[in-house]
Chain A
């Protein structure tokens, strides 16, 4: 909503210029991220797609990155804003390393930093159009939190962004329990990603699973899920309802 007040001098032009530099809508977007705490740390899954509106433009985007020694950041939403956030975090971790005091930023500190950044940008009406998932392990304690583009931030045992909120959360609420083994955790995440693949139009069948434990971060190679299309009713759906579809 822009109110144009007819002023003769250049104020209106300045206002217009300033407004045009705000983020109004996202362009290249990533879809959901699903993450859970398990026995040894945190598991996070994302697909590798970057959509440009309704086109699947990029199919090789890594939306999960390691931050420092103890954290893993996953992002859905605008990809360019995610890259900007990675630059901020680079600066942050670099300055932290320069202190050379033996301490390093843990996931809780990074989460707090991200919350402040997101909330302050939102207050200036110029948000970073992302929902971020921050997972990590430090001193044996695992941490999993989420920050949205308006600065809503919280910690939980399992999180999901975007469509994952509607499709993956119900499954996680039902089937997650503490002290999942690695195999069970991966199976649970794959179950959620498969439902997202069936029902989210911007999902692609090329996903990565990242694991973070006390030892560090490992991001898996991209792989695809097996899907099932052999229901007998799918073969000839309108056999009994001639003329419908």
Chain B
């Protein structure tokens, strides 16, 4: 009896072909490469007029601080910003990609981007990579339907929240939010609370540090406050900064133009070409 084998067209979604091989390799003793967590505290909260996002500025490479003052609040649209925790390359790439997609969409529709558009584009992308794109995001913005704040996890799930924290310092920051958040905060109260939450992450979590970045988004207006607070300044032993000991004394100054001492010969045809 002949058995006709039907060639099925390739289905969409994640291809699990290599999973068996990876499993076999780990059983044989191969250590899978671990993902670089960058260690971060990122927060967002909704106040009476819009959304405030906050982030620390330390990027770590294992136990070393790779960048003391990096930018973790990424631009998505004029009215939407996104904080990123996890692997720095993944957060950069994914936010850049969706930012471009949003721009093209704006040209096509002739309207301002909406936060749920960014949310759907991000979660679709992250889910299709089954968590291997290690980006944990806090997405916030104000669009025609009002202020919105969402968290997006590396596997593609999302939450809609009045206040959110992500990253290794998320527990320290969340404890501040849970203790002090209330509805209808004013702009100054909101900024103060966000700064307190990020400082809690900076001082209580080893993966976060350096400065506090804040971004305030309201209807039709945004303020990116880079290095809003610098609670870890470089300090010097003396208040005058670094002063060198007594330099070599100048006894005499005499200037002799070189043309008096040397004969200058111009060779024709060997001038430097432009």
Residues of A at under 8 Å CB distance from B? Answer: 166-171, 173-174, 191-192, 194-195, 198-199, 231-234, 237-238, 240-242, 244-245
Chain A, interface SS category: helix
Contact of A168 with B175 in the complex, beta carbons under 8 Å: yes
A232 to B158 Cα, complex, angstroms:
19
Q: A191-B179, A233-B46, A240-B145 are in contact. Are A169 and B204 (CB under 8 A)?
A: yes
Residue of A nearest to B158 (CB): A244
A167 to B170 Cα, complex, angstroms:
9
The segment from B75-83, B159-167, B255-263 found at the interface with A is: B159-167
Contact of A170 with B116 in the complex, beta carbons under 8 Å: no
Contact of A241 with B178 in the complex, beta carbons under 8 Å: no
A198 to B177 Cα, complex, angstroms:
11
Given A168-B175, A199-B175, A242-B116: 19 more A-B contacts, CB < 8 Å: A166-B172, A167-B171, A169-B204, A170-B175, A170-B203, A170-B204, A171-B176, A174-B200, A194-B178, A199-B174, A199-B178, A231-B162, A231-B183, A232-B162, A233-B160, A234-B162, A240-B146, A241-B158, A245-B158
Whether, in the assembled complex, B59 has its beta carbon less than 8 Å from a beta carbon of chain A, the answer is no
Residues of B at under 8 Å CB distance from A? Answer: 46, 115-116, 119, 123, 145-146, 148, 150, 157-162, 171-172, 174-176, 178-179, 183, 196, 200, 203-204
Residue of A nearest to B174 (CB): A199
Q: A170-B200, A237-B160, A244-B158 are in contact. Are A195 and B183 (CB under 8 A)?
A: no
Contacts of B161 in A (CB 8 A): 233, 237
Within the complex, which residue of A171, A192, A238 is in contact with B160, where a contact is CB–CB below 8 Å? A238
Q: What would 29 A/B residue contacts be, using CB atoms closer than 8 Å? A: A166-B171, A166-B172, A167-B171, A167-B174, A167-B175, A170-B200, A171-B175, A171-B176, A173-B204, A174-B200, A194-B179, A195-B174, A195-B178, A198-B178, A199-B171, A199-B174, A199-B178, A231-B162, A231-B183, A232-B162, A232-B183, A233-B162, A240-B115, A241-B119, A241-B150, A241-B160, A244-B119, A245-B157, A245-B159
Chain B, interface SS category: helix
Q: A232-B183, A233-B161, A233-B162 are in contact. Are A240 and B116 (CB under 8 A)?
A: yes
Contacts of A244 in B (CB 8 A): 116, 119, 123, 150, 158, 160
Contacts of B171 in A (CB 8 A): 166-167, 199
Contacts of B123 in A (CB 8 A): 244
Contacts of A191 in B (CB 8 A): 179
A244 to B123 Cα, complex, angstroms:
10
A245 to B158 Cα, complex, angstroms:
7
Contact of B179 with A241 in the complex, beta carbons under 8 Å: no
A245 to B150 Cα, complex, angstroms:
10
A135 to B163 Cα, complex, angstroms:
36
| Nearest chain B CB to A234 CB, angstrom units | 7
Contact of A195 with B116 in the complex, beta carbons under 8 Å: no
A28 to B102 Cα, complex, angstroms:
51
Within the complex, which residue of B46, B146, B160, B179 is in contact with A195, where a contact is CB–CB below 8 Å? B179
A240 to B144 Cα, complex, angstroms:
11
Contact of B158 with A170 in the complex, beta carbons under 8 Å: no
Residue of B nearest to A164 (CB): B175
Contacts of A231 in B (CB 8 A): 162, 183
A199 to B46 Cα, complex, angstroms:
20
A209 to B178 Cα, complex, angstroms:
21
A152 to B150 Cα, complex, angstroms:
40
Contacts of B162 in A (CB 8 A): 231-234
A191 to B148 Cα, complex, angstroms:
28
Residue among A199, A237, A241 with max Cβ neighbours from chain B (10 Å): A241
| Nearest chain A CB to B49 CB, angstrom units | 15
Contacts of A234 in B (CB 8 A): 162
